Structure 1
Amino acid sequence: MVLPTDILNANILIVDDQEANVMLLEQMLREAGYGCITSTMDPHTVSALHRDHHYDLILLDLQMPEMDGFEVMENLKKLEIDGYVPILVLTAQPGHKLRALASGAKDFVAKPFDLIEVKTRIHNMLEVRLLYKQLDHLNQQLEQTVLERTAELRESEARFRRLTELSSDWYWEQDEHGHFTNVYGPVLEMLSTPQADSLPGQTTQTPTARWNETERAELAANIAARRPFLNFIYSRIHTDGAQQYFQVSGEPKFDAIGRFTGYRGVGRDVTEIMLDIAAPNAA
């Protein structure tokens, strides 16, 4: 939103080789409440002035000796990276209006001046210009915010992964078809099911290890039914004859409209814990 005070505090440059026109425009603007007004009768100085002060509006006469308004506009274009040159041309030649607009002017005022028309066009151009600057500033802020949030998300993701790896022996993610998309640790050996496939370079369960098929079937049923499960215990007899126990937790993932997108979870070897629990009972 552009406030009336913002418009009256806008930075304005008057460029005209006729002193009478400069004085008339200055007086009109000051009486209307504008406070930041600069003027020059030398068109050669316009580019340097604009480079130093970044005017919100330039009132530019087209008919000037040595360097006319069209040449001034061409030089100003080189300074405006965003391509927006805030120029209101002043001309007594009706045939110059279309050429001026094609050259980059945003509006024009015919000479001799109608002061009410001049004030209205100046006000409207400044309002548009200041809105444009506000939008550009907001876009820059938004871009910076997006960059900051993206960096925060990446840092959070990395932190989560580190914590997951520290607190578990393996971590996995599956897509909606049951294919493993992201794994850490011996996931395929521990969780290989009819719904899962292998990743290149990974091995599936040891052929000679004997799993408790009832427990494995229950785990597979949970995943197939898209049910969450917490600290599910299942076991196997290793190739060396040792009993092994594993604990796994998983949850289904859904998108914003409730569509199933896969599974994720963590697991660990809890053999020592389970054997310690079983020892007193065996005694």
Structure 2
Amino acid sequence: MMLNADDFFNAKILIVDDQESNVTLLELLLGETGYRQVSSCMDATEVCALHRKHQYDLILLDLQLPDMDGFQVMEALKTNLNDPYLPVIVLTAQPGHKLRALQTGAKDFISKPFDLIEVKTRIRNVLEVKLLYKKLDNHNKLLEQQVLERTAELRESEARFRSLTELAADWYWEQDEQGKFTKVSGPVLDMLGIKVDSHLSDNRQAEVPEWDKDQRAALQSKIEARQPFLDFMLRRTHSDGTQQQFRVSGQPMFNENCGFVGYRGIGVEVIEKS
């Protein structure tokens, strides 16, 4: 993730100092360097509201301010949940304040009186971190939005697919890698002769029609080979000699690691017209 010159020079910078001469000097320096969006404020009580409105990429904050000092301003800025990264460089002539400022949340400090090379270097260094953080956050939000949109598309597609299969077939089913049914739509269990109630009142097993062994063996070989099958014919015979025929189609399912996870398919009962 790279930054270019425009990323730096379009960064929004706020100067907070109650000394007009300091503000003028910093504005002149930043303007000559190429920064295009530089503003200033001499009232510390306005900083939080300004930052919530403009979301500055960097705040140059003097610590010795009337009404509300720089430490109090930083504590107040921390309440802005929209900006978890506190983009502050403190301006101070007091060596003892530097460590406290960093502990309070400042990302760096600039000593007074100003050394112009130091000012430029420290501003660029902190801006680089802030802008990269900002790009990463925007990138993550974009990815999250794309995932949400893609998920919605897949759900809509799945719902449309299920609706179409229900219209085109007597049943739709999904099975896991062990062959157990995980999803069924339509009378698939009854049509395949699968009984879910094992507690029959007469303690006898329900009649299970006999499937054609050759057809079942051929189908099983396809399943074991993880092959799709289309319009595969299956026939079963009831105890009274009547027969039913089914036309089934299925395809294997695989996960993102190409691991087999089961089958999905559709089926219809074939009824011969008299």
Shift of 1:108: 0.6
Aligned equivalent of 1:52: 53
Change (3 A) 1:75 1:212: closer
Letter in 1 for 2:137: D
CA distance in 1, matches of 2:22, 2:106: 19
Deviations 1:123-164 (A, max 9, x none): 222222222222222222211111110000000011111111
* RMSD, aligned α-carbons: 2.7
- Segments of 5+ residues of structure 1 without an aligned counterpart are 277-283
TM-score computed with the length of structure 1 as normaliser: 0.83
For residues 266 and 72 of structure 1, the distance between their equivalents in structure 2, rounded to whole angstroms, comes to 66
Matched position secondary structure for 1:148 = helix
Q: How many residues align?
A: 268
Alpha-carbon shift at residue 6 of structure 1 (Å): 2.7
Q: Distance in 2 between matches of 1:170 and 1:206?
A: 22
Q: Which residue identity lines up with residue 177 of structure 1 in the other structure?
A: Q
Match of 1:89 in 2: 90
Quick check: 1:236–1:243 contact (8 Å CA) kept in 2?
Answer: yes
Quote the Cα distance in structure 2 between the aligned partners of 1:247 and 1:52: 65
The answer to which of 209-218 and 174-183 deviates more is: 209-218
CA distance in 2, matches of 1:144, 1:214: 51
Asked whether the 8 Å contact 2:195–2:206 carries over to 1, the reply is no
Q: Which residue of 2 aligns with 1:160?
A: 161
Q: Conserved in 1, the CA contact under 8 Å of 2:233 and 2:247?
A: yes
CA distance in 1, matches of 2:209, 2:169: 22
> Structure 2 CA distance, aligned partners of 1:83 and 1:217?
63
- After TM superposition, the structure 1 stretch with the greater mean CA deviation from structure 2, 243-252 or 162-171, is 243-252
SS of the equivalent of 2:265 reads: strand
C-alpha change, 1:235 and 1:62, in structure 2 (3 Å) is: same
Quote how far apart the aligned CAs of 1:29 are: 1.4
Mapped to 2, the partners of 1:33 and 1:149 lie a distance apart of 41
What is the SS of the residue equivalent to 1:215?
helix
Q: How much has 1:253 moved relative to structure 2?
A: 2.8
Q: Deviations over 1:19-75 (max 9, x none)?
A: 222222122112212232222222222223223322221111112233211011112
Taking the aligned partners of 1:109 and 1:214, their CA distance within structure 2 comes to 86
Q: 1:219 to 1:95 in 2, by over 3 A?
A: same
Q: Percent identity?
A: 62
Question: Which ranges in structure 2 are unaligned for 5 or more consecutive residues?
Answer: none
1:263 alignment partner in structure 2: 263
* Residue identity opposite 2:268 in structure 1: R
Q: Matched residues in 2 for 1:82 and 1:130: separation?
A: 12
Q: TM-score with structure 2 length normalisation?
A: 0.86
Query: Are the counterparts in 2 of residues 243 and 271 from structure 1 also a CA contact under 8 Å?
Result: no
Against the structure 1 CA distance between its residues 215 and 189, is the aligned structure 2 distance closer, same or farther, given a 3 Å change threshold? farther
**5 Å matches for 1:3-42?**
3-42=4-43
> 1:206-226 deviations in whole A, cap 9, x for unaligned?
616454444344434443454
Distance in 1 (alpha carbons) for counterparts of 2:49 and 2:72: 14
Q: CA deviation at 1:86?
A: 1.1
